[in-house]
Structure 1
């Protein structure tokens, strides 16, 4: 019997890892995704899904992962129009005197004319991948299934209890990762609320994560425009707050007036897996081989393929 591998979690990290493992064509490998939520029920489905590092570790290792993911998304956009990934132009607004621009090493960016920006702000215009998650997550699952990955809806509370069925377990459970392993209390859920509205002809994204009134992003997907958002460490409520929603719409409309009066498409809340550093490593002392893969903050989609590559390298 070959190596039996379980991936816990069907969000963008778990699916990307399963797809990367399945693509290795290692003889005898048997891969199963264990999930208590379908992909479109996960926090990944709530994500704005713009390739941009947000609320995640800053390091040379992560920079390399950013590049890996960017190249993969550019290729997917070119080769798989049904995947829901598009290259979008847009503006990243900066409000700090010395803005962090390390991410620009990965792609081209140019200075924005001050007349297009809020008073006192600087900004960069760039083109970056943006995923319509209602299309991308099902596509990614289908990619896994086409390569023999099985999906099993199963709630997992004890990783070691899987030793009878699996030789290797990869924990890609997002905000639950530390609790599930029982050895990591450093994961802090970061509540994020969004509202999705009709497109209204909006084609460019706007990101203003240093806005003094609160986080702002306007992300035109294929099916809607995602308006955000909030960044609430330690908050775990999953009900949308009407007052918060109204404030999000006001902040976004102030930057993109064309949004005024836009019909609401849907609304959602997700819990980002906040952690000072990513945890991508083998976990010793378990009943089988265990690999942790969580702590991506607000950069799950952005780091997904880089994470998958690192996990596969550990297993290989």
Structure 2
């Protein structure tokens, strides 16, 4: 079909882009070399939060758009999205004007000293969307099915062969498909526990290789976090698991009574800046690239999807 758009990739970026296109009436097809449940998106925490990546003016816009979409999704409990209290530690709120990304956070206030776990001197509370990714990705797949979108499990080796209008949402796969050697993997590992009754999420800010975070969902808690650049090996590391559990249980003692369900790993597609751009190949194939989100794929997903849809349709 000449008017068909082919989305390559079935992680959160690909599915969201396909939903935006299909629900606006654009004939859409998804190509992926692996099922959604085998993508990095499946093992994300996941949390909408402020993004401070280049291109800064665009990521600000995409962050705001995504927040708007997630707030609407949170009104339906079947989506896997809910608005939760999140304690963020590591930085105090500045005395002057807040960055615009931060002002988007509802109910933002400084944490009192008695609200901070031992070892943390400053932090803040805010209400943010927390996303249970297995449930949420299933929600996106159901919307695609309802819109008549077929997901073909096939390997794409050349974007120009996929169709005449293509959106590239392949994450790390874009290193080969787009010839982008600025992409690199960042290994992450999460430990999934049963939920002992937690509602509030916790996130430690910082650029260290290891930090503390936990995202509670109705049936489980996703505990992290780990950041190891340029590691492709997805084998879970028992020492990392032990350190994640020790940190999270120190912050939240109720996790000591939780049972470990599994340990999951993934490769974040890191890039100096998020890429949502247009490329023409051979004057016949229009490609929109939507990748390079690193750890903010969920936070930017709806904004980047809507921008990609506008670029590929010219509307």
TM-score by length of 2: 0.92
Q: Does 1:226 align with 2:197?
A: no
Unmatched 5+ residue regions in structure 1? Answer: none
Shift in Å at residue 2 of structure 1?
A: 4.1
**Residue 54 of structure 2: aligned partner:** 57
**Residue 177 of structure 1: aligned partner:** 174
* Whole-angstrom CA distance in 2 between matches of 1:185 and 1:232: 18
**Residue 113 of structure 1: aligned partner:** 112
**Residue 279 of structure 1: aligned partner:** 275
**Residue 270 of structure 1: aligned partner:** 266
- Other structure's SS at 1:229 match: strand
Q: Does 1:291 align with 2:301?
A: no
* Whole-angstrom CA distance in 2 between matches of 1:139 and 1:97: 35
Do the aligned residues in 1 keep the contact of 2:214 with 2:224 (CA within 8 Å)?
Answer: yes
* Whole-angstrom CA distance in 2 between matches of 1:173 and 1:191: 17
RMSD: 2.0
Q: 2:235 pairs with 232, 239, 264, which one?
A: 239
Shift in Å at residue 113 of structure 1?
A: 0.2
Do the aligned residues in 1 keep the contact of 2:71 with 2:129 (CA within 8 Å)?
Answer: yes
Do the aligned residues in 1 keep the contact of 2:187 with 2:230 (CA within 8 Å)?
Answer: yes
Do the aligned residues in 1 keep the contact of 2:92 with 2:124 (CA within 8 Å)?
Answer: no
Shift in Å at residue 101 of structure 1?
A: 5.1
Do the aligned residues in 2 keep the contact of 1:56 with 1:274 (CA within 8 Å)?
Answer: no
Do the aligned residues in 2 keep the contact of 1:55 with 1:299 (CA within 8 Å)?
Answer: no
Residue 213 and residue 274 in structure 1: after superposition, are their counterparts in 2 closer, same or farther (change >3 A)? closer
**Residue 205 of structure 2: aligned partner:** 209
* Whole-angstrom CA distance in 2 between matches of 1:125 and 1:63: 21
Task: Count residues with an aligned counterpart.
Answer: 308
Do the aligned residues in 1 keep the contact of 2:93 with 2:123 (CA within 8 Å)?
Answer: no
* Whole-angstrom CA distance in 2 between matches of 1:267 and 1:75: 31
Residue 211 and residue 246 in structure 1: after superposition, are their counterparts in 2 closer, same or farther (change >3 A)? farther
Residue 77 and residue 306 in structure 1: after superposition, are their counterparts in 2 closer, same or farther (change >3 A)? same
* Whole-angstrom CA distance in 2 between matches of 1:4 and 1:154: 17
Do the aligned residues in 2 keep the contact of 1:213 with 1:251 (CA within 8 Å)?
Answer: no
Greater alpha carbon shift after TM alignment, 289-298 vs 207-216:
207-216
* Whole-angstrom CA distance in 2 between matches of 1:120 and 1:145: 46
* Whole-angstrom CA distance in 2 between matches of 1:8 and 1:211: 31
